[in-house]
Amino acid sequence: MNFQNILSKYRKISFSERDKGDRFERLIQTYLQTDPIYANLFKYVWLWEEFPSRKDFGGKDIGIDLVALTIEGTIEAYISLNTIFLEIQLILFNY
């Protein structure tokens, strides 16, 4: 099943926009942890609700969907990610 087929399935089976967004966030989390390009960039990727230090940032929803722990040599850094489920196309940015 390719990425577009998964998105089409999510559109059909999701019972709300929130459910569709939650499914999409988990999909992107899994993608970032398993894709050969991204898996080497991130030590771990959390959903915002599961991020261990969430309470240090107020604990409530502040527009962050995912938090990734990056590794650059011996330096670790956290980055926040926002995901958007587009109806027409998915746009992935490579940095």
Q: Is 21 helix (H, G, I), strand (E, B) or coil?
A: helix
Instruction: Give strand ranges (E) for the chain.
Output: 42-47, 66-72, 75-81
27-53 tens-digit pLDDT: 999 999 999 888 888 889 999 989 988
The C-alpha atoms of residue 39 and residue 18 are separated, in whole angstroms, by: 27
CA distances 89 to 20, 30, 42, 49, 55, Å, are 15, 19, 25, 26, 34
Q: Name the average pLDDT for the chain.
A: 82
Contact 70, 42 (CB under 8 A): yes
Q: Where are the domains of the chain?
A: 3-81
Residue 82: the pLDDT is: 85
